[in-house]
Every structure is written in structure tokens, then in C-alpha cells.
């Protein structure tokens, strides 16, 4: 279930890091299966992706106000995995067709039932499907394992760097109407942390142009923050604090994976347009 949005309060020194232990425990629980799935590949990564798509479909339907319509939640959870399955067997073209069909189907179902927010419900299909397919596309590249692990490290570093620098330094708000706790210091700290960890990761991997990867990692920190802010805007619009409660300290899967919603498609598009993994750019 989604958690109602409370009025945002100014952080005090004692409360600033109160959720940190839960965040650390949650990260420890989430990271190993995700990294293992990326490393092992088929069929494990497909199983993990489908499970995530299923859970995020439930969260999205509830988030946009359809938590009291179990048949819509059922339609969403049954429909969202279909483009991903289509990608397994027919590639991107089939996935794109299925995504469009499901988007229209959600609109029609909401219209027939005379339910509000039908467009919001339908929007969840591409929001969930595109990052999922992007991860599979990246993983299927010859440098897919390295690229995916690099991106996971960069987004995790962004989250940690933004969290600590934002709460330690404070200062001007980044987008006070959307996410009152986020600051410019947090964004810059996240970019620096991403650049450092991204560079360290490719040094371990042994691939990539160091100055270029440092810059790309910092850019991905900004892209990830855009995903974070976008999810925050949706939650604020619907008056909820968390997309769910499946992950202690993080809320729902959307709360944990919001940075990947924008960063995965960005890297997948860059890979497709350049014909090579970002780690092979020079």
C-alpha cells in the first residue's frame, strides 16, 4: 500500500540520518540478487526483471489512485510483463507494439469503467516497460555485464553521495515544490560521488577512457536525479509519501529504482546510437 504524504518538516541534526540504518540494510538485501542476475544472465536476469515489472505494476496502479480497483490492478500486473516477454522472443519491434496496445487498452478500460486518472494508469506501461527492456538490451551487448555493473555502481554512488552531502551541507533547495529535502549540494555531491565510483569501477573492469567515463558518470547522476524528481512529482501530485512498503527504509520498488527509470533508457539509447558500450567510447 502507498503511504500518505505528510507535511514536510525541516530536518534536524538528530533526524537527518535517522533512516540511514534501514537504508543500508535494504541496500544489502537488494544489491546481491540484482548483481548476481546481471552477472549470470539468462534466465536469471529475465526472471528478476519480470518480478520487478510485476511488483512495480502493482505499485503504479495503487500510486495513481486505483488501489481500490483490484480488477485494474490485475489488468496492470497481467499486462505490464507482456512487452518484456515480447522482447525476449521477438525483439524491440514486438515489445513496442505490445506497449502501444497495452497503453491504449488501459485507457479504454478506464474510460469504459468511467474511472478518473485513466491516462495516469496507462502511462505506467511505458514507464515500467522501457527501463526493463533497456536493461536486457544493455546486458545482451558484448560488454553488457561490465556496462550494467558500472551503471549500478554509478546510480548507487549518486544516491549515497546526494544523501550525505545534502544532509550534511544543506543549502538552497533543488526543487522545493517537488521534493523539499533535495538540495543543490546533494546534486553536486551525487555527481562527484558518481564520477569517483564510476572511474573506480572501470579501473577494476579494465575498460574505458577514464576522463570520459568520469564525465559520463557525472551526467548519469543528473539523469538519475531527474528520475528521482519525476517520481517525487508523481507522488506529490497524488499525495503519497512512498510508492509502497516492500523495502524497509526505501518504501516501494519505485522509490528504490527511480534513478534507473531514466538512466537505463539513456544508456541503452546511447549504446544503440553509437553501436558500442559507453565503456568502449574514446
CA pseudo-torsion sign 153, 156, 159, 161 = negative
* Grid-cell match 506497449, residue found: 99
DSSP characters for 232-244?
Answer: HHHHHHHTEEES-
Please state which of the ranges 59-73, 140-154, 189-203 shows the lowest mean pLDDT: 59-73
| pLDDT one-digit tens code per residue, 201-234 | 999 988 789 999 999 999 999 999 999 999 999 9
**Per-residue pLDDT at 11 exceeds 70:** no
> Beta strands 179-183 and 173-175: pairing type?
antiparallel
| Band of residue 10 on the pLDDT scale cut at 50, 70, 90 | very low
> Beta strands 240-242 and 179-183: pairing type?
unpaired
Q: Where are the domains of the chain?
A: 16-280
Instruction: Compute the distance between CA of residue 126 and CA of residue 119 in angstroms, rounded to an integer.
Output: 12
| pLDDT one-digit tens code per residue, 73-97 | 888 999 999 999 999 999 999 999 9
| pLDDT one-digit tens code per residue, 19-42 | 666 666 666 777 888 899 999 999
| pLDDT one-digit tens code per residue, 259-278 | 999 999 999 999 999 999 99
Q: Give start and end residues of each alpha helix (H) in the chain.
A: 20-40, 44-61, 70-79, 81-112, 118-140, 144-169, 184-205, 210-238, 253-274
Instruction: Compute the distance between CA of residue 85 and CA of residue 80 in angstroms, rounded to an integer.
Output: 9
Using CA atoms of 123, 269, 135, 89 in order, give the dihedral in degrees to the nearest 10. Answer: 80
**Per-residue pLDDT at 14 exceeds 60:** no
What is the pTM for the complete model shown? 0.89
Instruction: Compute the distance between CA of residue 193 and CA of residue 240 in angstroms, rounded to an integer.
Output: 29
Amino acid at each position: 500500500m502507498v503511504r500518505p504524504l505528510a507535511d514536510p518538516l525541516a530536518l534536524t541534526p538528530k533526524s537527518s540520518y535517522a533512516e540511514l540504518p534501514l537504508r543500508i540494510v535494504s541496500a544489502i538485501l537488494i544489491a546481491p540478487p540484482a548483481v548476481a542476475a546481471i552477472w549470470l544472465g539468462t534466465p536469471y536476469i529475465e526472471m528478476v526483471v519480470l518480478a520487478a515489472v510485476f511488483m512495480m505494476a502493482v505499485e503504479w496502479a495503487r500510486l495513481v489512485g486505483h488501489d481500490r480497483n483490484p480488477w485494474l490492478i490485475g489488468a496492470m500486473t497481467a499486462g505490464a510483463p507482456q512487452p518484456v516477454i515480447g522482447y525476449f522472443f521477438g525483439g524491440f519491434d514486438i515489445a513496442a507494439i505490445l506497449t502501444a496496445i497495452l497503453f491504449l487498452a488501459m485507457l479504454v478500460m478506464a474510460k469504459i469503467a468511467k474511472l478518473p486518472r485513466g491516462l495516469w494508469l496507462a502511462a505506467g506501461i511505458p514507464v515500467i516497460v522501457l527501463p526493463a527492456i533497456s536493461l536486457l538490451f544493455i546486458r545482451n551487448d558484448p560488454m553488457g555485464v561490465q556496462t550494467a555493473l558500472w551503471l549500478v555502481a554509478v546510480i548507487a554512488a549518486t544516491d549515497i553521495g546526494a544523501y550525505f552531502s545534502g544532509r550534511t551541507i544543506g543549502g538552497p533547495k533543488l526543487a522545493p515544490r517537488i521534493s523539499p529535502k533535495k538540495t543543490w549540494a546533494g546534486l553536486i555531491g551525487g555527481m562527484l560521488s558518481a564520477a569517483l565510483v564510476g572511474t573506480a569501477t572501470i579501473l577494476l573492469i579494465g575498460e574505458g577512457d577514464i576522463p570520459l567515463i568520469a564525465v559520463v558518470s557525472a551526467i548519469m547522476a543528473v539523469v538519475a536525479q531527474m528520475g528521482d524528481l519525476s517520481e517525487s512529482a508523481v507522488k506529490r501530485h497524488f499525495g503519497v509519501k512512498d510508492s509502497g512498503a516492500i523495502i524497509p527504509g526505501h518504501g516501494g520498488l519505485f522509490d528504490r529504482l527511480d534513478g534507473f527509470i531514466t538512466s537505463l533508457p539513456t544508456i541503452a539509447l546511447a549504446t544503440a546510437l553509437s553501436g558500442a558500450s559507453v565503456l568502449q567510447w574514446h
